[in-house]
Chains A and B, each alone.
Chain A
Amino acid sequence: MSGASVAGVTDATAAGLMPATAAGPILAVESANVVLGHGWRRAKVLSDVDLVLWPGEIVGLVGETGSGKTTLARAIVGLAGLASGRVLVDGQQVSGLRGRALRAQRRRGLVQLVFQDPLRSLDPDLKVADIVAEGLRIRGGLDAGAIARRVRQTLSEVGLDASVLDRTPGQISGGQRQRVSIARALATQPRLLICDEPVSALDASTRNHVLRLLDELRDSLGLTILIISHDLSSLAGIADRVAVMYRGQIVEYGPADQVFTAPLHPYTALLMASAPSVRHDQPYSARQLRQNGPHLVPAADGCVFADRCAFAAAACAARPPLEQVADGHDVACHRHEEWPRLARDGAGPDHARPDRPPARSR
């Protein structure tokens, strides 16, 4: 690392922009509720979500379209307002800030979001140098030379050389664009990086390149990273813990290897059984875990997964709390002890007829 780029860091630290390291969680989301829309469109998108991230860990957030993953990411950075609950970053409440306090919080750039599609989230008319510098300019406190040094340093951190500085997003490859997007987020030296589907638009090799980069940045910069992804296998390669969301609730949260190899929630198990793989060694087939009868109308305050669950029982009319049932492994399911046995015994409605089509109408 050159002397010039070190100076850039020191400038930022001297200006009081770098937060002091704390031993507590870097992020705490406490019973967050988000309601979007008005009138008949009004819908509860997040329902009592609790999430804690410790410094230096990579947490994966998985779930289907509309499960609230992106809304949770937006709520953490303040782009979606909370109806109730709160968000704390490094011990300080960041939700519900207004006016001067909100602007000050945003300028600090403690939490940064990397958006899904870099082609659409990066300004097509700006050069890479200006895209990466924009946050630093808004924050203030650095002169042009220090900003230029910081931009070059950030780009080298994400593995790009100076040749991309004068290009626009349309003139670089998809993998490079996503790196620029990450560099833009890293410029203000955040402590928490939230990546919303950072690799879904990339080819397998480029995807692994970017995920490896995030893993390296966690070590070299001491970052905490929340990654939203639907590619479970590649996520498993770098994530320490994984949270599974379903219809606005976290239904399972635990160490990545446990969640992926020994899921406690039937939805996680269905997700794992459905994931395409060149190996066929999943303990259950998707058919065993699907509810193939008529779709029930979910009880308003019941388990969110009950209408799709092959193992739903009377108890599931009440919402199960997210409880710790193994070491550091939380699940929200009344029947987390019974369903694996029921699935193995073929109590899943379709087990006896493996050739039945996947879904049928009535």
Chain B
Amino acid sequence: MMTDSPSSLPDYAPRNGFGDDSSDRLLSIENLRVTVHHGAATAVRGASLDVAPGEIVGLVGESGSGKTLTCRAALGVLPPGCAVQSGTIAFAGRDLTRLSRRQWEQVHGAYIGAVFQDPASYLNPNLTVGSQLAEVLRIRRRLNRRAAHARAVELFTAVGLRQPERVFHQIPAELSGGMLQRAMIATAICCDPRLVIADEATTALDVTIQAEVIELLRQLRRERDLAVLFVSHDLAVVSELCDRIAVFYAGEIVETGRTEEIIERPRHPYTQALMRVATVGDYRRRELQVIAGQPPGVGAEITGCRFAARCPDAIAACGAGPVGPVSVGLGHDARCLRVNEVAGNGMAGVTGASAVAGELAVR
């Protein structure tokens, strides 16, 4: 068990001196490549991404697109057989990819917190929820038993748990999924991290509870200037919460930009297709849209654009060579050769098209 407080480690300056604090980039991922199956395939192929202090950035994509591996690499908890092949992950100016296991333990919780999909599987079912949070506080914050209890109850209050004192003494099985996720968020923020990585943190929750957890994350950002890297397969959820969105497809970030830009004016054909199939908040009888074809297998080696095989606008040049990101606006990049020729097909296009389809599909 790790018992040193972060500042006691000679590698690290005290908290405020952790790296270059004046930077406008809290987390900066540069050209990250992650291999799976012990190096046999490259699942994340040159992802670059920044998170500013207090910013909420969403990673969205299909399963197997590399979004989870990217955030797991940023947390230093890649699954067995996976490794960072090249690229850097800088947190407040310091490269995380070279940290030892012991150095990672200093970062976890104190600088970067994490929340995952299934809260029940991260808690010991036999111990009370409060004692598990208090344990972290006693070890990381060196609080005594009484102070840890008081601080845990404060944290439970801060994440909106009603009757926090009662929750403290309950075991995980006595709490609902939404309450457990709030308890996990309390644990994630208990050492005042500057960044929380939330991997599908609301996916397993009911929509009413999901909406509450999203509001809680917004509130924590407002109150604590907390940055959040929010991973979800659901474009609608990401668009509700995030300031900026990075769209993953087959291991690459194909488009990145401010949420309104991505939603209103997506420039990459894959993002446009995702907009058509995502939950657009249309409650009419209609023809549900699909994306033709299947994504390439994880780590498939493809010359040229990885979406070309499914792209309605693909031309010969798309398959000829690698396609790099093209700037299409302030902080808005799309990895598409024909970005200026492909018709904008954002919200306006989606709602217009679905209105027509809806009328046709009405019985």
Contact = CB atoms under 8 A, between A and B. Distances in A.
Interface stretch (A44-52, A148-156, A273-281, A310-318): A273-281
A362 B290 contact: no
A278 B236 CA distance: 5
A234 B211 contact: no
A173 B297 CA distance: 11
Nearest to A175: B294
A65 B179 CA distance: 13
A127 B185 CA distance: 43
Contact of A204 (B212, B219, B233, B284): B233
B290 A357 contact: no
A286 B289 CA distance: 28
Contacts of B234: 204, 276
B177 A277 contact: no
B347 interface: yes
A230 B207 contact: yes
Contacts of A286: 208, 211-212, 215
A132 to B, nearest CB: 22
A281 to B, nearest CB: 7
A122 interface: no
B206 A230 contact: yes
B288 A257 contact: no
B160 A274 contact: no
A341 to B, nearest CB: 22
Contacts of A123: none
Interface in A132-152: none
A88 interface: no
A337 interface: no
A322 interface: no
Contact of B279 (A64, A261, A276): A276
Contacts of A221: none
A179 B286 CA distance: 22
A203 interface: yes
A100 interface: no
A270 interface: yes
Given A211-B288, A236-B282, A277 B164 contact: no
A212 B160 CA distance: 40
A236 B284 contact: yes
A233 B208 contact: no
Contacts of A260: 283
Interface residues of B, number: 52
A35 interface: no
Nearest to B206: A64
A275 B279 contact: yes
Contacts of A274: 207-208, 210-212
A171 B271 CA distance: 29
Contact of B285 (A65, A173, A174, A236): A236
Contacts of A65: 176-177, 206
A276 B57 CA distance: 17
The residue in A203, A256, A261, A295 that gathers the most chain B C-beta atoms within 10 A of its C-beta is A203
A261 B283 CA distance: 7
A205 B236 contact: no
Interface of B: 62-63, 156-157, 160-164, 176-177, 206-212, 214-216, 219, 233-237, 239-240, 263, 273-275, 277-291, 294, 347, 351, 361
Interface of A: 64-65, 173-174, 203-205, 207-209, 211-212, 215, 230-234, 236-238, 256-257, 260-261, 270-282, 286, 294-295, 357-362
Given A208-B290, A232-B283, A279-B347, 13 more contacts: A65-B176, A204-B62, A204-B235, A205-B273, A211-B288, A212-B290, A271-B207, A274-B207, A276-B210, A276-B239, A278-B239, A278-B281, A358-B212
